[in-house]
Chains A and B, each alone.
Chain A
Amino acid sequence: MRAMVYRGPYKVRVEEKDIPRIEHPNDAIVRVTHAAICGSDLHLYHGMMPDTRVGTTFGHEFIGVVHEVGPSVQNLKVGDRVMVPFNVYCGSCYFCARGLYSNCHNVNPNATAVGGIYGYSHTCGGYDGGQAEYVRVPFADVGPSIIPDWMEEEDALMLTDALATGYFGAQLGDIVEGDTVAVFGAGPVGLYAAKSAWLMGAGRVIVIDHLDYRLEKARTFAHAETLNFNEYNDIVVEMKKTTDYLGADVAIDAVGAEADGNLTQHITSAKFKLQGGSPVALNWAIDSVRKGGTVSVMGAYGPIFSAVKFGDAMNKGLTLNMNQCPVKRQWPRLFEHVRNGYLKPNDLVTHRIPLEHIAEGYHIFSSKLDDCIKPIIVPDAS
């Protein structure tokens, strides 16, 4: 089969690999019809995630058709169209039993601090991802769901991570009626979080970024007010001014490890890997939110320490809520929202790239060329 393969920082290519085989009785093999590149894939691509091995296939956002099932699989059969959450999880450990699917303890021998994620380094379990023609899906009776007939494939693809994570980020904000919600980052997850904040009753939603074309999308897609942090000397002061010097009630970090806005933070983390991530957006969130407010973090950071302004968070009495999204828990409610037209996930898809052009796809997304917001990979198109 053809698959994207990591060759080292900033370098990927398509190679011929063996079709994955059943390695556990509850495995399925899925033929991928659509995959996506996630903003967090760029952390791998840039060499930021420890134990990212040459030869690995990335891709934790994918949908496809069941090609083969293991002997203990009961809920899927060959030919089913399935959407697969980015979490690999067993459904039976202490954490899965409590709904913390993203924190599963039975799928990642390499680390206890993170669960299993498809195509996301050995730190996240060493699974190959879906930017390929076929992928191994462990615990086929637990993670995947059959795509409803009425759902468009690109919408299903966005539900495997980006939309679910954005919506989850808004939930982590514990939004109450009339809250002012600040969303740092106008990438796909931030835009979905901004849109979701309204569903939870926000009174104002303000999106902060430095890319004008993404801020335009925040206004049209997410109905949000916008601030370009590059136009202000100090975005924290601007946030105070626009909230009558109170601060936002809720701030959401939808950027994670490669945040811009502070050159030292960015270079020490994204370029020289001396931090687990550049916590510029997180620090801005901590300083922009009001005392007693809530900071939600679903932007991804690496496992090494980061220079977070924890003293401000403590002195302000903040609540910090964070996690990787337990995707499948979100689906029933999100299916309703998509069907009712409250959320239109594939409005953010800007680029559809054949697998053969995966290197260009990564470069376009990483460098924000051509007003790219969300690129998807189409293996069949090659």
Chain B
Amino acid sequence: MPYTAQAPNRRESNEELKARIPGWGVDLDPADRPAFPQERFAPEVTGAHWDFPERQPGAETRERSIEHRFVTPVFGTSAPLHGLSGAIRRFAYDKFSEGRAAHWLILIAGDRVDAAGSHLRSFFTLRPDNPVSETGVKAELTHGGFRSRFGRGRADNRHTWIDSILIAGPWVLAGVAAFSIVRRLAKR
């Protein structure tokens, strides 16, 4: 008990643990643990054969955190900024440091504009977004949706229903809005 000086008795001795658990204690010495100490100066082991990496082309237009002096020598190019969402994101990068909540909240706003715009644009392509196939909800039927969720005391059952609203809600609202616009135009 913590109310007296002695530590609680061990439930199992080292010998019992070694007999029960393969490898028990092989890394007991911190020196055998590879991330100990967490900081260890050893640039020679990394494989790098440069003091500063050669610069990847394309940095001129690349957005960056204003906490960086320059665009890092290497960077990802998976989805360059574009359109309205790109302008929102660039604003977040240009105006606010990572220390400001505004930086992140504006980026999340940009994410939602990006998603909505992409959905809309997809309807003018040969492969429009399909909320049924893209959510993978078919797996509810093929991988035991009911038996996996119910009668098993899962804590997440209390909020799973919110997902349906978050996922389907915008589509339903957009559908209602589109229908009402078409109906008004038809009445004219």
Residues of A within 8 A of B (CB): 7-13, 23-26, 47, 50-57, 72, 74-75, 88, 90-92, 96-101, 105-113, 116, 122-123, 125-128, 138-139, 141-142, 168, 171-172, 174, 177-178, 196, 198-201, 203-204, 210-212, 223, 228-231, 243-247, 260-261, 263, 266-267, 271, 273, 276, 290, 302-305, 321, 323, 325-326, 329-334, 337, 340-343, 357-364, 367-372
CB pair B57 A9 closer than 8 Å: no
- The distance in angstroms between the C-alpha atoms of A56 and B79, with both chains bound, is 6
- The distance in angstroms between the C-alpha atoms of A72 and B48, with both chains bound, is 11
Q: Tell me if B15 is interfacial: C-beta within 8 Å of chain A.
A: no
Q: How far is the CB of A375 from chain B (nearest CB, A)?
A: 11
Across the interface, which residues of A come within 8 angstroms of B17, CB to CB?
198, 203
Q: Tell me if B167 is interfacial: C-beta within 8 Å of chain A.
A: yes
Residues of B within 8 A of A (CB): 1-3, 7-8, 10-12, 14, 17, 20-28, 30, 32-36, 38-43, 46-54, 56-59, 62-65, 67-68, 71-79, 85, 89, 93, 98, 101, 104-105, 107-108, 110-112, 114-116, 118-119, 122, 129-131, 133-140, 142-145, 148-149, 152-156, 158-160, 162-163, 166-167
State the total of A-B contacts with C-beta under 8 angstroms: 323
Closest residue on chain A to residue B119 by CB atoms: A8
CB pair A223 B76 closer than 8 Å: no
Q: How far is the CB of B91 from chain A (nearest CB, A)?
A: 12
Given contacts A50-B104, A92-B46, contact A116 B136 (CB under 8 A): no
Q: Which of B33, B41, B71 has the largest number of chain A CB atoms within 10 A?
A: B33
Across the interface, which residues of A come within 8 angstroms of B129, CB to CB?
7-8, 11
Given contacts A50-B104, A246-B8, contact A111 B98 (CB under 8 A): yes
CB pair A333 B32 closer than 8 Å: yes
Closest residue on chain B to residue A302 by CB atoms: B104
From A127, A177, A243, A266, B76 is in contact (CB under 8 Å) with: A127
CB pair A99 B159 closer than 8 Å: no
From B11, B111, B154, A51 is in contact (CB under 8 Å) with: B111
Q: Which of A9, A305, A341 has the largest number of chain B CB atoms within 10 A?
A: A9
Across the interface, which residues of A come within 8 angstroms of B104, CB to CB?
50, 276, 302-304
- The distance in angstroms between the C-alpha atoms of A368 and B32, with both chains bound, is 36
- The distance in angstroms between the C-alpha atoms of A358 and B30, with both chains bound, is 41
CB pair A210 B48 closer than 8 Å: no
Across the interface, which residues of B come within 8 angstroms of A331, CB to CB?
34
CB pair B111 A107 closer than 8 Å: no
CB pair A245 B1 closer than 8 Å: yes
CB pair A12 B134 closer than 8 Å: yes
- The distance in angstroms between the C-alpha atoms of A297 and B6, with both chains bound, is 29
Across the interface, which residues of A come within 8 angstroms of B1, CB to CB?
244-246
